[in-house]
Amino acid sequence: MKPETKYRGAIKLSAIGDALGWMTEFVNNKSDLEKRFGVSEIDHFHNWSKQVGGRFNGYEDHIKSGAYSDDTQLLLAVARSIDDKGTVDNEYFSKVEFANWLSYARGGGRTVKNAAKKIQRKSATWYNNFFSFKVGKTTVDSIDSGANGVAMRILPIALANHQNFSKTHSEVFKNGIITHGHPRALVGASLYAYCIEQALMFRPEDFDRNQFLTLIGKTVDTALALNQNALGEAAQWIKHWEKEAQMSFQTAYDNVVKEAHQGLQDVWKMLQSEISEEEALKELGCFNPETRSSGISTVLGGIYIALRYPTQPLVAVSKAVNCLGTDTDSIAAFVGGIVGAIHGHNIIPDRWKKVQDWEYLDDIAMHLARISFDEGNGNEKLRSKDIVNTLEAVLAEGNPRVDTQVVFPALGQGHITGLDIQHALTSGKYNVIVDVEFENGQSCRFSKLLNGEIPQNKKILSPDLNELILEFESELNSNEKNMFRKILLRLKN
């Protein structure tokens, strides 16, 4: 098997796992799943919708079949930030990619979103983005943030630096501290990267899960050991962390590495017992609200499911997607990354090739392969130097039109392909939602809350639906128009 086949498999199946798992992320049981999608389990893409933007100023996001979430969005942002030596340009990532990601984010946890807001401060640097935020009446500090928001985006780093894991490890750490401060987030991300590193070494026909897990278990302590001399400016971050936490970062980090090692031993025991993925994820803490999105627990959960079905990689992805009550999109993305790195992209069935931006995912994978093979990265084609956000100006005017050419930081030039307009619950406000296809191959959805009334004869995403709404405009109030649109969209889909 050609190495690039594995790269393409890892990137694409990670995005597929994310897209499938996003549909089930907030579904708690099969009864709820059947009500939402009319099926007892998810194994292919569906059109679906969710309310976003809050109760009073939000809108109904009609999500197209195959759409991926923040996991893949940030993975792609990291990929565009890697230079031809496999080094992440964290200044570019933090100030251009990450800061502007908020404008098109789909999903995204509190920590990651707050980190993106805080990095926009002039005083903030990628190695000094400390912050806190409120969750109810509780204040959460970034140094206590140990979720999987780092692990979900670092697959490109592992691929670009294959066969140089010490480089991968330091690059993951440096990129990770932009958003998360707890060693659990950083160790979990490096553990996932180490699994990718080892998975790339196996031929599919020779893969043996016991050999794979034994190798990782025996070497993980050394592989994940922190070499502060290789961290450059990130060493300043450690000093600040220790001042805030009043303890040794090295001690805290080493303790979490031990936790990860113990977790791998638990995974080994569970594999020998062949317990179900639901039982395994429960033991690992993936159903516990306090550890549901843990950087360690979810990565271990992904490892378990991937290894439980070593000769059935597609089953592994589907099983992860249907572990209702867990962080399904991230766990399924981890499973997809691992099995894709082992089996390559040729195993992907036609029903999953409809994932959003299929061709762009292929471009990104080949871009990373070229870096890894030291063939140059063609980075200029992937990264935009345009900083002027004309898309923001188009949205602010409140009069966007399909086919309008736009420019957006990091993503470059594109054109509007879809338009939707919805009243907010707050009187005198409405949301403009546009779909944009960029010349680099990525597609994104943007929205803008505006004051005033919706302009007459404004076209929405589906012109035929808009005509029906306008036909009854005088007879419908704002809420009725929104409900009518939802009903028509469901009938259409």
Query: What number of other Cβ atoms are within 10 A of residue 404's Cβ?
Result: 17
**What is the reported pTM?**
0.91
- Note the pLDDT of residue 459: 42
Stretches in the chain below the pLDDT threshold 70: 376-381, 384-388, 456-493
Sorted by where each starts, the structural domains of the chain and their CATH numbers stand as 3-382 (1.10.4080.10), 390-492 (no CATH)
Distance CA 160, CA 152 (A): 16
- Note the pLDDT of residue 398: 82
**pLDDT of 164-204, one tens digit each?**
999 999 999 999 999 999 999 999 999 999 999 999 999 99
- Note the pLDDT of residue 467: 44
- Note the pLDDT of residue 158: 98
User: With contact defined as beta carbons under 8 Å apart, do 178 and 90 qualify?
Assistant: yes
- Note the pLDDT of residue 136: 86
**pLDDT of 369-386, one tens digit each?**
999 998 765 565 677 665
- Note the pLDDT of residue 381: 60
